Amino acid sequence: MSSFKTTALALLVAALVGSPLAGCSASPSAAFDTRSAPPAPDYRQPAAWLAYPGRDGLERSVPGGLTAVDEDQAPVDVFFIHPTTYKGGDVWNAPWDADDTAAPLNPPVLVGQVSAFNGCCRLYAPRYRQASLRALSKSQPAVDLAYEDVAAAFRWFIAHDNHGRPFIIASHSQGTMHAVRLLQAEILGTRLQERLVAAYLVGGYAPDTFGEVGLPICDAPSQTGCVVSWNTSKPRSRIARIIIDNKTYWWRGALKTADQAPAICVNPLTWRAQGSNASAAPAGANPGSLPFPKAPFAAGATPLAPLIPGLTGAQCREGMLEVEISRDAPPGFSDPLSRLAGSYHLNDYGIFYGALRANAIERVNAWFQTRKELDKPSHRPAIR
């Protein structure tokens, strides 16, 4: 197995079960101490952002037949909280400026996840002192430190970059853990909530009780001010459920360790929530999937191959989004964990890339449509 595949496998294992990195069993040499943490990022500096407008970076890559919106004309911003990309287990928190050798999943995240929103929006993805794989299962203070960076980046974004525009919150894996907290601490119940187009909390646990704190679960493709989440697996995979079962999560101002709510599952091929009498979506309903991006990566935005239509259908069942991908499917949708554990964690975005891209555009247009009469200065032409 190549070193990249080994890293990806280890990252996925850690995301699912909190286990140490295969081939990287080192642990931090001392107990967590904020005094020994890496220096904090300075979000005034563009270098502190993995994705930032004006760079024409990998996040501006576009599959064949699709186009990216002109950043100067984009009506909405996306604040994207990236997953664990750092491969080491010898620190509690990774340096925010870890390069692509130390954090080999940085480029695939930009190409395969953040880029899904470049059809509608300006893209912001802060670098942060992400909790290492070891820390995710062993050190809540390290997770808290990572969150503090995310919150600081969001506050800077709102104060200096957003300029009162509507925005989307999007995330994956570790990023979704931080997004669940960020929504409660910084957005819900404030005037910012009026500008929230939607929250796409993918590849991690999001409780279906968000309605209790004022954020309904999305149950229609053009609904706005709501939350979407899904976790992709083979049918009835018990191992893959580890990502949503028995979680510790931030809820109403404190960590919640018992009486966990069920996980949200919204089917990205129907945009209906589990429990809303929505049936399974057939493969024909999937407009296009993006294979997991592989090195070598260009220095900036690059044309991608056209999306693959009809790869798989999907159905929510007991909090998981179940798919059936044929063994004859094109490469890029199978990896050791999908084969051994039934989890498609690394492809949570890619399998539904076309549907997600189109839905982000639809929700943006719907947000402006519902406010056209109430707030005419905010109106923008529909994105085509």
pLDDT at residue number 276: 72
Residue 170 pLDDT > 60, yes or no? yes
Task: Give residue 14's pLDDT band: very low, low, confident or very high (50, 70, 90).
Answer: low
SS3 30: coil
Most confidently predicted of 4-18, 19-33, 222-236: 222-236
Q: Distance of CA 123 to CAs 54, 152, 250, 268, Å?
A: 10, 17, 26, 21
pLDDT at residue number 20: 33
**Residue 51 near residue 78 (C-beta atoms within 8 A):** no
**Residue 215 near residue 181 (C-beta atoms within 8 A):** no
Whether omega before 296 lies within 30 degrees of 0, making that bond cis, reads yes
Name the region of 38 (left: φ>0; alpha: ψ -120 to 50; beta: rest).
beta
Mean pLDDT of 13-33: 59
pLDDT digits (tens, 9 = 90+) for 172-204: 999 999 999 999 999 999 999 999 999 999 999
Helices 174-182 and 140-156 sit at what angle, rounded to 10 degrees?
60
Task: Give residue 371's pLDDT band: very low, low, confident or very high (50, 70, 90).
Answer: confident
pLDDT digits (tens, 9 = 90+) for 40-60: 999 999 999 999 999 999 999
Average predicted confidence (pLDDT) for the chain: 91
pLDDT at residue number 16: 46
| Cα-based angle 162, 166, 167 (whole degrees, multiple of 5) | 75
Mean pLDDT of 209-230: 98
Q: Report the DSSP beta bridge partners of residue 267.
A: 272
**How many Å separate Cα 203 from the centre of its chain?**
7
DSSP assignment of 304-329: EPPPBTTS--BEEETTEEE----TTS
pLDDT at residue number 383: 64
> pTM of this prediction?
0.93
Question: How many residues comprise the chain?
Answer: 384
pLDDT at residue number 30: 87
Alpha helix segments (H runs only) across the chain: 3-17, 106-112, 133-138, 140-156, 174-182, 336-340, 353-371
Mean pLDDT of 233-257: 95
63-85 core/surface letters (b: 16 or more CB in 10 A; e: else): beebebbeeeebbbbbbbbbbbb
Name the region of 311 (left: φ>0; alpha: ψ -120 to 50; beta: rest).
alpha
Indicate the domain borders of the chain: 3-378
SS3 198: strand
Please state the φ and ψ torsions of residue 370, each to the nearest 5 degrees: -70, -20
291-325 core/surface letters (b: 16 or more CB in 10 A; e: else): bbbbeebeeebeebeebbeebbbbbbeebbbbbeb
**Residue 68 near residue 60 (C-beta atoms within 8 A):** yes
pLDDT digits (tens, 9 = 90+) for 138-151: 899 999 999 999 99
**Residue 58 near residue 301 (C-beta atoms within 8 A):** yes
Residue 17 pLDDT > 60, yes or no? no
